[in-house]
A and B are shown apart, each in its own frame.
Chain A
């Protein structure tokens, strides 16, 4: 069958990004032809500003060179403008008479700078700021002339002005309003910005109405309504952009301000799609790349005929790319009626921060001078996190929150050899280099190429900052991130679908939600297996092949391929019989290392896979069961000696720990779940860095939740105080069940609580007694099936084969 023909008009950022996404999904589906009016391959338009400022060279900003098109079999016509689309014959025609037929057409014609209708607008030396040609003209002018005027004090105008100043010109910025960048900044931030730019040598004429551009062939001066005249050898108009829709209009496609598209980026002609700044979606126009990249993803998915995913608009944030000036703006930063404003001002340091808040949710942010926390505020905004619990410190930034172990400092002030990723030993410089040399745009790309933040993820924030600082704000900002590359759906979306559509198996999820891969990947399958198990505890048939090896063989894989085995010791208690059995097992199977773990248990390390069933059988015979040290499951309950022996003990912490462990062992959780019970506030069992910790006091039991002693240390939050052991057990079961039902896979309780807010957890567990009892009873129901010792099952002779080689050769 002949391949279908896809024609792309507009060789810019959105169009080519769509092709890249399409090639990932369906590399062989189309014969692709690209027409671009500019005589260049695809380049990063955003980086024209650093090029103008002399900080980057043209060759640095090419995204896809000619070889890329050739390598993917794409026909590229550079410097050829399409002037006609014949929708009946399905043909496009260039200015110079070339024709190409299509089955599908993609319009990505971008936008054009708006040129004010002033007398003299056609003079030489009057330009916009849009493409390489404009930058060339500006660089030429700076070599021969002195006076530049930029009309427009928005993002683009200021970047142009800064670049021209760096090239040695005298620059005046003319703005009609009294405040710069009014679409991104409030007045205090704009005032700080203006002062900093003045210090860099820019001149400003505010509230100035331009009347005419003067000159014979080349512009010479500019005159204002109040009669003022200033010299101008170069005039850059940066007063806004207009979607480039002439071609679409002439082809009779429905246009308003832009080419009107639906949520699948389809125009009114079903064969024709459109993406980028030329489109109008739900009444909105676009001027930043992040939403365009989201559109590209959705559009590619439909071109590839997967038909999943809809574009539903975007939340965007902006940064000004003027070296030395830190500025961040996102969302509804003006506030007004019904909004609250949290602000922080330190004029001496030139720092200003404002958060616009409604119902304890961040709605917008403006940061000036210190933008380290921009990404964090943006995330709080996107996820609509309840900030009630840390409202009083939120303006001091994330570093001020208790959980900040390794992060904190502004990443750009770090030296090149500062280690960013401790797991993979990646320093700052290789990350910056990879981003600029390999043209990486997204966190995933950076992870794949450098391994930075690909392991424990604690340095993700730092890597995101490096990415933002190196390429501008690129990371597309979907409302919620997809689970993995196999799907567009988020964790929460998938869970909801499992429950609402009563999906009972992995294949059912793949089919109902249109998975892009036939059977998922190592990242989504374990998550889905857990979500199904949690949703249908009575009926779901666990899928061992979708579990990480540790959970599949109920032991921990070691670096040499052997395993470690940790038997359960309730509450950390043991006795001579158990210890003897452990010693015997170690002797019998020649286990090289026996170690006391950080969780108060004994670890047998270096067991061969084929010995596992026999080791378990011996441990089972001595009354011990699996300690689940390998699982996203209840781990250990640490205890201290408590009132039975300790002179300070207030309650029986050991006994309570044993009860808790007996009640909860065997339960699977989104991530591992650890507990501890301390007999008094001296807290020898370290209960305040556990997922669920109990600190006994004279009058009862303090319940602490959401602690973590791992990658990022986080002290627990006090949930409440209760009077009896029975209550501790009920609160514990209810809390675990809430986390089991609502935590995302691989999210420990600490980040979960920070995401949903302690108040929320309190409202479900402490304030709602009925709800707590219901959660507790669901926990019990699921436990009635979960408490079967996996070791005993696998130690059965019939099961042992799977641990042996299929065949022994030689």
Chain B
């Protein structure tokens, strides 16, 4: 269950962009920042469930497309004073290949 799964290449995601990994338990959003760091979060905004993958990536944060909550990609936490959390998943790059550990 908790093995690393190959999900694609870094180049499949635009810089400051995101793609989703579809999953029976709900989508996982995979983000790539302007400086090529990558993060994986449950694709559900802690506010009202907006699809975070469709937001705007800035720094290592994502702004939800529905009502502009800002979520920190490293911790999954909403920026104060908003409160909430999106689950994070382990993700790594090896030779440009992305590996994800879904739970």
B30 at the interface (CB under 8 A from A): yes
Cβ of B36 to closest chain A Cβ, rounded Å: 12
Q: Which of A517, A526, A561, A807 has the most CB of B within 10 A?
A: A807
Using a Cβ–Cβ cut-off of 8 Å, how many residues does chain A contribute to the interface with B? 29
Contact B14 A557 (CB under 8 A): no
Residues of B within 8 A of A808 (CB): 21-22
Contact A519 B16 (CB under 8 A): yes
A545 at the interface (CB under 8 A from B): yes
Cβ of B4 to closest chain A Cβ, rounded Å: 12
Contact B57 A545 (CB under 8 A): yes
A752 at the interface (CB under 8 A from B): no
Residues of A within 8 A of B2 (CB): none
A809 at the interface (CB under 8 A from B): yes
Q: A548-B56, A806-B13 are in contact. Are A561 and B34 (CB under 8 A)?
A: no
Partner of A517, one of B16, B25, B58, B65: B58
A721 at the interface (CB under 8 A from B): no
Q: A806-B30, A807-B7 are in contact. Are A545 and B17 (CB under 8 A)?
A: yes
Contact with B along A547-571 (1 / 0, CB 8 A): 0110001000101010000000000
Cβ of B61 to closest chain A Cβ, rounded Å: 8
Name which residue of chain B comes closest to A558, CB basis: B66
Contact A809 B66 (CB under 8 A): no
A520 at the interface (CB under 8 A from B): yes
Contact A810 B23 (CB under 8 A): yes
Cβ of B44 to closest chain A Cβ, rounded Å: 9
Contact B35 A549 (CB under 8 A): no
The B-contacting residues of A in range 144-196, CB under 8 angstroms, are: none
B63 at the interface (CB under 8 A from A): yes
Contact A561 B5 (CB under 8 A): no
Residues of B within 8 A of A448 (CB): 80-81
Residues of B within 8 A of A517 (CB): 58-59
Contact B54 A561 (CB under 8 A): yes
Contact B51 A802 (CB under 8 A): no
Contact B21 A806 (CB under 8 A): yes
Q: A548-B65, A807-B21 are in contact. Are A557 and B54 (CB under 8 A)?
A: yes
Cα(A561)–Cα(B12), bound, Å? 22
Residues of A within 8 A of B59 (CB): 517-519, 521
Name which residue of chain B comes closest to A449, CB basis: B81
Partner of A809, one of B5, B13, B58, B81: B5
A81 at the interface (CB under 8 A from B): no
Partner of A806, one of B12, B67, B80: B12
Partner of B20, one of A519, A525, A801, A805: A805
Residues of A within 8 A of B85 (CB): none
Partner of A522, one of B13, B48, B56: B56
Cα(A141)–Cα(B81), bound, Å? 43
Contact with A along B80-91 (1 / 0, CB 8 A): 110000000000
Name which residue of chain A comes closest to B58, CB basis: A521
Cα(A808)–Cα(B5), bound, Å? 11
Name which residue of chain A comes closest to B65, CB basis: A549
B96 at the interface (CB under 8 A from A): no
Cβ of B29 to closest chain A Cβ, rounded Å: 10
Cα(A520)–Cα(B8), bound, Å? 28
Q: A517-B59, A522-B58, A545-B57 are in contact. Are A805 and B21 (CB under 8 A)?
A: yes
A546 at the interface (CB under 8 A from B): yes
Q: A519-B59, A806-B30 are in contact. Are A561 and B50 (CB under 8 A)?
A: yes
Contact B24 A810 (CB under 8 A): yes
Partner of B22, one of A545, A561, A801, A805: A805
Residues of A within 8 A of B46 (CB): none
Contact B58 A519 (CB under 8 A): yes
Cα(A520)–Cα(B13), bound, Å? 20
Q: A525-B58, A805-B21, A807-B8 are in contact. Are A545 and B65 (CB under 8 A)?
A: no
Q: A545-B57, A557-B54, A806-B7 are in contact. Are A521 and B21 (CB under 8 A)?
A: no
Cα(A334)–Cα(B58), bound, Å? 49
Partner of A521, one of B22, B24, B30, B63: B63
Residues of A within 8 A of B8 (CB): 806-807
Cα(A689)–Cα(B77), bound, Å? 43
Using a Cβ–Cβ cut-off of 8 Å, how many residues does chain B contribute to the interface with A? 40
Residues of B within 8 A of A810 (CB): 23-25
Q: A448-B81, A559-B48 are in contact. Are A809 and B63 (CB under 8 A)?
A: no
Contact B19 A809 (CB under 8 A): no
The B-contacting residues of A in range 523-558, CB under 8 angstroms, are: 525-526, 544-546, 548-549, 553, 557
Cβ of B86 to closest chain A Cβ, rounded Å: 14
Name which residue of chain B comes closest to A563, CB basis: B54
Q: A519-B34, A545-B15, A549-B65 are in contact. Are A806 and B20 (CB under 8 A)?
A: yes
Residues of B within 8 A of A545 (CB): 14-17, 56-57
Secondary structure class of chain B's binding surface, majority of residues: loop
Cα(A544)–Cα(B49), bound, Å? 23
Cα(A242)–Cα(B22), bound, Å? 68
Cα(A521)–Cα(B79), bound, Å? 13
Residues of A within 8 A of B102 (CB): 809
Name which residue of chain B comes closest to A805, CB basis: B22
Contact with B along A414-450 (1 / 0, CB 8 A): 0000000000000000000000000000000000110
Name which residue of chain B comes closest to A524, CB basis: B58
B76 at the interface (CB under 8 A from A): no
Residues of B within 8 A of A546 (CB): 16, 56
Cα(A455)–Cα(B67), bound, Å? 8
Cβ of B20 to closest chain A Cβ, rounded Å: 5
Residues of A within 8 A of B61 (CB): 521
Cα(A521)–Cα(B66), bound, Å? 16
Cβ of B89 to closest chain A Cβ, rounded Å: 11
Cα(A309)–Cα(B25), bound, Å? 49
Contact A805 B27 (CB under 8 A): yes
Cα(A363)–Cα(B70), bound, Å? 40
Residues of B within 8 A of A526 (CB): 56
Cα(A521)–Cα(B59), bound, Å? 8
Cβ of A526 to closest chain B Cβ, rounded Å: 8
Q: Which of B12, B48, B58, B65 has the most CB of A within 10 A?
A: B58
Cβ of A35 to closest chain B Cβ, rounded Å: 30
Contact A809 B20 (CB under 8 A): no
Q: A518-B35, A545-B56 are in contact. Are A806 and B51 (CB under 8 A)?
A: no
Cβ of B66 to closest chain A Cβ, rounded Å: 7
Contact B34 A518 (CB under 8 A): yes
Name which residue of chain B comes closest to A547, CB basis: B56
B75 at the interface (CB under 8 A from A): no
Cβ of A810 to closest chain B Cβ, rounded Å: 4
Contact with A along B27-44 (1 / 0, CB 8 A): 100100011000000000
Partner of B63, one of A522, A553, A559: A522
Cβ of A728 to closest chain B Cβ, rounded Å: 37
Name which residue of chain B comes closest to A809, CB basis: B23
Contact B19 A549 (CB under 8 A): no
Cα(A549)–Cα(B35), bound, Å? 21
Contact A802 B19 (CB under 8 A): yes
Residues of A within 8 A of B68 (CB): 454, 522
Contact A805 B81 (CB under 8 A): no
Name which residue of chain B comes closest to A434, CB basis: B81
Cα(A805)–Cα(B19), bound, Å? 6
Residues of B within 8 A of A522 (CB): 55-56, 58, 63, 68, 70
Closest 6 CB pairs of A and B: A522-B63, A545-B16, A806-B19, A805-B22, A810-B24, A522-B56
Q: Which residues of A contact B (CB under 8 A)?
A: 448-449, 454-455, 517-522, 525-526, 544-546, 548-549, 553, 557, 559, 561, 801-802, 805-810
Q: List 13 A-B contacts (CB under 8 A).
A: A449-B81, A518-B59, A521-B61, A522-B58, A545-B56, A546-B16, A549-B65, A802-B14, A806-B13, A806-B19, A806-B21, A808-B21, A809-B22
Q: Which residues of B contact A (CB under 8 A)?
A: 5, 7-8, 12-17, 19-25, 27, 30, 34-35, 48-51, 54-59, 61, 63, 65-68, 70, 80-81, 102
Besides the known contacts A561-B49, A561-B51, 13 further A-B residue pairs in the complex with CB atoms under 8 A apart:
A455-B67, A518-B34, A518-B35, A518-B59, A521-B56, A522-B55, A545-B57, A548-B56, A549-B54, A557-B54, A806-B12, A806-B19, A809-B5
